Structure 1
Amino acid sequence: MRARPSLESTVFPLAFRAWPTAVLSLALCSTCVAQAQSSWITPDAIYTQGGAGTEVRSLGIGITWDMPWQRSTSWGLLTSHLDFSLGGWRITGADTFSGRRTVTQIGLTPVLRLWIQDSSKYFLEAGIGTNIISPHYQNREKRFSTSFNFGDHIAIGLRFGPNGRDELTLRLQHFSNAGIKHPNPGENFIQVRYLRRL
C-alpha cells in the first residue's frame, strides 16, 4: 500500500488544490467588487499576519482593495475595503483526530473601518466573510464538520510611517460554519497584522 505524502511538509500545495473553491468565494462577493473603482484588479495593500488559537498557530498573507463607500458619523469616518487572505494553520497539540498537522485557509471578507474622530492614525474595524478551510480542521479538542466556514473579526489598529503607508493591527477572529452542520465548535485566534499600502 502506497504511503500518503505528509501534509506537514508544506501548506501551499493544499492552497493550489483548493483554488476552484477560492474562485467560487470570489464570485460570491462579486456584488462588493462591482462597487469598486475600475482599477479594482490592482490591490491597494498587501499584508502578513500571525496568530494563535487553542493548540493552533496561524500564519498568512493577503491583499486588500479599497471600496468607494464611506460615511461621516459623530464617532468618525467609516470606510470600507475588501480583504483576500491565504493562510496556513499548524496544530500544536500532542495528538489530533486525523493525524494531520496543517490546514489551508482561504478567505474573502468585506470590512468596515471606523477612523476614530478626526484621527488619521487610529481605527477600529469589523468584518464578516467566507472561508474555505481544507482539509477539515481537527485537533484533539475540536473537529470542524465542513470546509466552508464564516470568519468574523474585530480589530484595533494604528497607521504610521511615511505618508501613512504602514499599519499595525491587533485582531480577534472567529471561524465557524454558523450551525450549517455539526459539530461546529469554532476556533478563535488572536492575531497581529502588518500591512503596507502600495
Structure 2
Amino acid sequence: MPFTSPTRLLLVAATSAVLAAPAAAQGLRPSAAFFQTGGGDDGVSATASLGASWDWAWRQAALGGEFSAATELVATLLQADRVGGGQRTYVQLGLVPVLRYRFGAGRSPWFVEGGIGLSVMDRKLETPEKSQGSAWNFSDNLAVGRNFGARNEHELSLRWQHTSNAGIQEPNPGFDMFFVRYAARF
C-alpha cells in the first residue's frame, strides 16, 4: 500500500530519529554533512540526497596510502517514471559503512571509497522498465573524490550507487544511480 506524502515524511523523520538516537545519546557529532544530486537508469530520472557521516577512529597505512572508515546515514528522494505514465517520488534511507583509501601516505587530497550497507524505501520501486521485489535492499557504493580548502574541509566526489536485494526477494533487477556530492567536514 503506497504511503501518502504526510505518512512518507513521518516515516523518514521517525526512521532518521531512530537511527540517529544512538549517536546523539553518546554525544557523537557527525564528522561531515553532505548533499548529493544526480540521476539513475531505467526510469529513475532525478535524485537528491542529504546525509551525515561519522568517522571511525581506525586508520591503517597500507599500499602507499592510508585506509580509514566512516558510517553514513543518508536520505534520498528519487523521481521515477510511473507505470501508466507520469512520475512518482520515492524516499530511500540508507545506512552504509564506507572504507576510504587516501593516496600519498594519507596526505593526498585525492581518495577512493566504497561501502555496502542497508537501505529501505517507502515502497517497492516500480517503473515501466523494472519492478523491485522488496522495499528493503542493499546499497553498494563506489566513489572517487578530492578534498580542498585551507583545512581540506570541503569535498567533491563522483559516486555510483547500486541498489538491489541480493536475490532475497524476486524480482531483483536492481537499479543504479550516479551522484555528484559536496561534503562539508567539521
Q: TM-score of the superposition, structure 2-length normalised?
A: 0.86
SS at match of 2:131: coil
SS at match of 1:132: strand
- Alignment of 1:140 onto 2:128: yes
Q: Return closer, same or farther for 1:147/1:20 CA change in 2, 3 Å cut-off.
A: farther
Q: Which residue of 2 aligns with 1:103?
A: 90
Does the Cα contact within 8 Å between 1:71 and 1:78 map onto a contact in 2?
A: yes
Does the Cα contact within 8 Å between 2:102 and 2:110 map onto a contact in 1?
A: yes
- Alignment of 1:168 onto 2:159: no
Deviation at 1:120, TM superposition (A): 3.0
Q: Which residue of 2 aligns with 1:85?
A: 74
Instruction: Name stretches of at least 5 consecutive residues in structure 2 with no aligned partner.
Output: none
Q: Return closer, same or farther for 1:75/1:195 CA change in 2, 3 Å cut-off.
A: same
Q: Return closer, same or farther for 1:63/1:163 CA change in 2, 3 Å cut-off.
A: same
Deviation at 1:20, TM superposition (A): 5.1
Q: Which residue of 2 aligns with 1:157?
A: 145
Q: What amino acid is the match of 1:61?
A: L
Deviation at 1:14, TM superposition (A): 1.3
Deviation at 1:161, TM superposition (A): 1.2
Q: What amino acid is the match of 1:50?
A: T
Does the Cα contact within 8 Å between 2:3 and 2:123 map onto a contact in 1?
A: no
Q: What amino acid is the match of 1:150?
A: F
Deviation at 1:162, TM superposition (A): 2.2
CA distance in structure 1 between the aligned counterparts of 2:69 and 2:178, rounded to whole angstroms: 22
Q: Which residue of 1 aligns with 2:8?
A: 14
CA distance in structure 2 between the aligned counterparts of 1:99 and 1:19, rounded to whole angstroms: 27
CA distance in structure 2 between the aligned counterparts of 1:130 and 1:152, rounded to whole angstroms: 9
Q: Which residue of 1 aligns with 2:60?
A: 71
CA distance in structure 2 between the aligned counterparts of 1:19 and 1:184, rounded to whole angstroms: 27
State which of 114, 128, 137 in structure 1 corresponds to 2:101: 114
Does the Cα contact within 8 Å between 1:22 and 1:107 map onto a contact in 2?
A: no
Does the Cα contact within 8 Å between 2:3 and 2:122 map onto a contact in 1?
A: no
State which of 118, 123, 126 in structure 1 corresponds to 2:111: 123
Q: TM-score of the superposition, structure 1-length normalised?
A: 0.81
Deviations, residues 93-150 of structure 1 (Å, cap 9, x unaligned): 4x42697611000010000000012333000000000001111111110111111100
Greater strand proportion: 2
Does the Cα contact within 8 Å between 1:168 and 1:194 map onto a contact in 2?
A: yes
CA distance in structure 2 between the aligned counterparts of 1:98 and 1:142, rounded to whole angstroms: 14
Q: Return closer, same or farther for 1:81/1:169 CA change in 2, 3 Å cut-off.
A: same
Q: Return closer, same or farther for 1:87/1:43 CA change in 2, 3 Å cut-off.
A: same
Does the Cα contact within 8 Å between 1:97 and 1:138 map onto a contact in 2?
A: no
Does the Cα contact within 8 Å between 1:116 and 1:122 map onto a contact in 2?
A: yes
